[in-house]
Amino acid sequence: MRVLGIETSCDETGIAIYDSENGLLGHALHSQVAMHAEYGGVVPELASRDHVQKTLPLIRQVLDETGLKSDDIDGVAYTAGPGLVGALMVGAGIGRSLAYAWDVPAVAVHHMEGHLLAPMLEDEPPEFPFVALLVSGGHTQLVKVGSIGQYELLGESLDDAAGEAFDKTAKLLGLGYPGGPALARMAEQGNPDRFRFPRPMTDRPGLDFSFSGLKTFALNTMHAEYLDDQTRADIALAFEVAVVETLAIKCKRALKQTGLSRLIIAGGVSANQRLRTRLAEVCEKENASVYYPRLQFCTDNGAMIAFAGCQRLMVGERQGLDFSTRARWPMEELAAV
């Protein structure tokens, strides 16, 4: 089955075609980062308008690049949530309409399920069951995954998501949007012995997270110091290390608690090199294996939506013409495949 995937939940238009027999056939991405950078964050109305302009041309581009025609597409998958409703409605409206016009089924995909399944696009995909650490701009969750659609939430952030904490702290440090990659680059110049930030909620049992205090800790440190470039880099590093160590401690705990020996990491923050290296070390010590998506599929993309949608279309899941989008959508509501 060949599925066209459409992702428009936030600030990237992602299009891909996934084939259940031959894997990923093609994909393209248009990032709105440059447009939103001027405002220091995503402006929802501008995001929607840009998706309107980019989605169809990008679909044409992927069809051209793969040498496929609309007749070759057996189903359409679009992100229906969670995300910015206006932005979601663009992809959902276009996706549902194309499926109707082409007389093929459509399916609504959960954005975080897309992230969670992204490591399956790699050459050595993880087998079920596994623990998933989902770390994006909007979510930080530890999930026990039995199979596709069988998700048990083990813990999540009680306030800011990890990516959001990166973005907000980066802003305090005078870095542009999106802050995660910029902060990570600045941290490379940091002195690891200068500051030690707390590891929130690691001194009590449980798998929930809280990252908003780290941003305040960074702000207080900035107020207490003379802020030259070196000090800012030292703060960036102390913040990054604190987030990474906190995530590592909780991942180790989740593996122990579930007795599982596979960990997958996905979502924008899984592109962070320090996090990838640290979790590889943790898993080696725990005799567990760790799986990541390739870097370009850590952040938002159409490939993960085409893949997740294909799995659901293949078991007969269908979205009627009465489609809707959801700003919030607990992943546990999804049906097992």
Q: What are the residues binding ligand KG4 (CB under 6 A)?
A: 10, 136-138, 163-164, 166-167, 178-181, 184, 267-269, 271-272, 299-300
Burial of 124 (0-12, 13-18, 19+ CB in 10 A): exposed
Q: How far is the CB of 11 from ligand KG4 (least distance, A)?
A: 8
Judged by CB under 5 A, does residue 141 bind Zn ion?
no
Instruction: Assess contact for 21 and 35: CB atoms under 8 A.
Output: no
Q: How far is the CB of 219 from ligand KG4 (least distance, A)?
A: 18
DSSP H or E run through 132: strand 130-135
Query: Which two tokens mark 225?
Result: 């110091």
Q: Which one of 136, 231, 272, 311 is in contact with Zn ion (CB under 5 A)?
A: 136
Query: Which two tokens mark 271?
Result: 């592109």
Q: How far is the CB of 206 from ligand KG4 (least distance, A)?
A: 24
**Count of residues engaged in binding Zn ion, rule: CB under 5 A:** 2
Q: Of the listed pieces 216-224, 292-300, 308-316, 323-331, which binds Zn ion according to CB under 5 A?
A: 292-300
Judged by CB under 5 A, does residue 300 bind Zn ion?
yes
Which entry of Zn ion, ligand KG4, none binds 14, CB below 5 to 8 A by partner kind?
A: none
Rank residues 25 and 269 by Cβ distance to Zn ion and give the closer one.
269
Which single residue brings its beta carbon nearest to ligand KG4? 268
Rank residues 75 and 179 by Cβ distance to ligand KG4 and give the closer one.
179
Instruction: Assess contact for 2 and 63: CB atoms under 8 A.
Output: no
DSSP H or E run through 14: strand 12-19
Judged by CB under 5 A, does residue 164 bind Zn ion?
no
- What residues contact residue 149 under an 8 Å CB cut-off, 6+ apart? 113, 312, 334, 335, 336, 337
Instruction: Assess contact for 214 and 165: CB atoms under 8 A.
Output: yes
Burial 77-105 (b: 16+ CB within 10 A, else e): bbbbbbbbbbbbbbbbbbbbebbeebebb
Report how far apart, in Å, the C-alpha atoms of 66 and of each of 16, 33, 62 are.
10, 26, 6
Q: Of the listed pieces 219-227, 249-257, 297-305, 329-337, which binds Zn ion according to CB under 5 A?
A: 297-305
**Of residues 89-128, those binding Zn ion (CB under 5 A):** none
Q: How far is the CB of 1 from ligand KG4 (least distance, A)?
A: 26
Rank residues 126 and 267 by Cβ distance to ligand KG4 and give the closer one.
267
Which entry of Zn ion, ligand KG4, none binds 200, CB below 5 to 8 A by partner kind?
A: none
Which entry of Zn ion, ligand KG4, none binds 309, CB below 5 to 8 A by partner kind?
A: none
Q: How far is the CB of 164 from ligand KG4 (least distance, A)?
A: 6
DSSP string, 260-329: --EEEEESGGGG-HHHHHHHHHHHHHTT-EEE---GGGTSS-SHHHHHHHHHHHHTT----SS----S--
Rank residues 97 and 210 by Cβ distance to ligand KG4 and give the closer one.
210
Q: How far is the CB of 63 from ligand KG4 (least distance, A)?
A: 24
CA dist 8 and 87 (Å) reads 6
Q: How many residues does the chain have?
A: 337
Q: How far is the CB of 101 from ligand KG4 (least distance, A)?
A: 29
Query: Which two tokens mark 303?
Result: 């490939």
Rank residues 240 and 300 by Cβ distance to Zn ion and give the closer one.
300
Q: How far is the CB of 236 from ligand KG4 (least distance, A)?
A: 11
Residue numbers at the binding site for Zn ion (CB under 5 A): 136, 300
